[in-house]
Amino acid sequence: MPLELTASQALGLWHGVTLAQVRREDHDLTLRQTAILLQIYLVPPPHTVRGLAATLGVTKPVITRALDTMGEMGLVDRVRDDRDRRNVIIKRTVTGALYLEKLGDLVIEHGRKL
Amino acid sequence: MPLELTASQALGLWHGVTLAQVRREDHDLTLRQTAILLQIYLVPPPHTVRGLAATLGVTKPVITRALDTMGEMGLVDRVRDDRDRRNVIIKRTVTGALYLEKLGDLVIEHGRKL
DNA sequence: CGAAACTGGAACGGCAGCGTAACGAATTTC
DNA sequence: GAAATTCGTTACGCTGCCGTTCCAGTTTCG
């Protein structure tokens, strides 16, 4: 079911959510980090470093570093693949799910204000 | 007119737009820079450094630096206020308007895909 | 007037992400 | 089995944003 937005609504929504993000969070995620996180939680697994790099159109080290940072925050987890031990499978965490739930609430909340 | 979104729609929209941003742009704006830009273009002028800092909940140098960067990109312009020469009025530019128009289109486009 | 209060900006050291180029480990290929 | 390929990671130097502090210019008030 398509969602029809006016230009004013679209930018207004983005404005409200972005502003709230800036005001709330102490440490904000990079645009790339946010994209990676959403990709992991919204697209069916399994997720690998290589796969994410290809999807985002960035190099592998970018993914590795982002996973390092977000891993320390507890937003994601890494596990070696037993079938092919070269691979690393990126796992979701409760903390990460909560983080995105908050983001979703923020979007919904500002959608209502339009 | 409120806009009712489901959690899935909200995150899906954010995911699509963020992903497109990462894939498209060479140099992405910081979350803070984006918030500043949207504030300037969606809220009636005049805009000052101090005012923006208060609105975003950040310090003045953050605004100054963001305006430096975005100024070099042509997204905003700065003019001294003649009434009170301590103030600097932040002006909109054609380039900045175009940038946000693209962002709006991106949001609309991914809204349709939901 | 002179002192106080305001503006925006500059200077400093620090930290995080970047691109490129390598690397070690595991697997596939011949 | 040896060589080539694939995977994720690390190392290097670089750039950009960060918070704090301090500064110069302007206005206001006693």
Please answer whether residues A114 and A9 qualify as being in contact, where contact means their C-beta atoms are separated by less than 8 angstroms. yes
B49 touches strand C (CB under 7 A): yes
**Nucleotides of D strand lying within 7 Å of any protein CB atom:** 6-11, 16-21, 25-28
The pLDDT of residue A33 is 97
B76 touches strand C (CB under 7 A): no
Contact call for A14 and B39, based on CB within 8 A = no
pLDDT band at A1 (very low <50, low <70, confident <90, very high): low
With a threshold of 0.85, does the pTM exceed it?
A: yes
Q: How far is the CA of B85 from the C1' of D29 (A)?
A: 18
> Cα(B78)–Cα(A107) distance, rounded to whole angstroms?
32
Higher pLDDT, A37 or A24: A37
> Cα(A90)–Cα(A40) distance, rounded to whole angstroms?
8
The pLDDT of residue A49 is 97
pLDDT > 90? residue B4: no
User: Region A7-30: what's the mean pLDDT?
Assistant: 92
pLDDT tens, residue by residue, A64-75: 999 999 999 999
Q: Nearest 5°: phi and psi at B5? A: -120, 145
Indicate the range of A8-12, B1-5, B46-50, B61-65 predicted with least confidence: B1-5
pLDDT tens, residue by residue, A39-94: 999 999 999 999 999 999 999 999 999 999 999 999 999 999 999 999 999 999 99
DSSP, collapsed to helix, strand or coil, labels residue B42 as helix
Average pLDDT, chain A: 95
pLDDT > 80? residue A27: no
What nucleotide is nearest A27 when CA is compared to C1'? Answer: D18
Pick from A76, A78, A110: nearest CA to A96 = A76
Please answer whether residues B107 and A114 qualify as being in contact, where contact means their C-beta atoms are separated by less than 8 angstroms. no
Q: How far is CA A106 from CA A88, A101, B45, in A?
A: 32, 9, 26
Q: How many pairs of residues across A and B have Cβ atoms under 8 Å apart?
A: 138
The pLDDT of residue B114 is 85
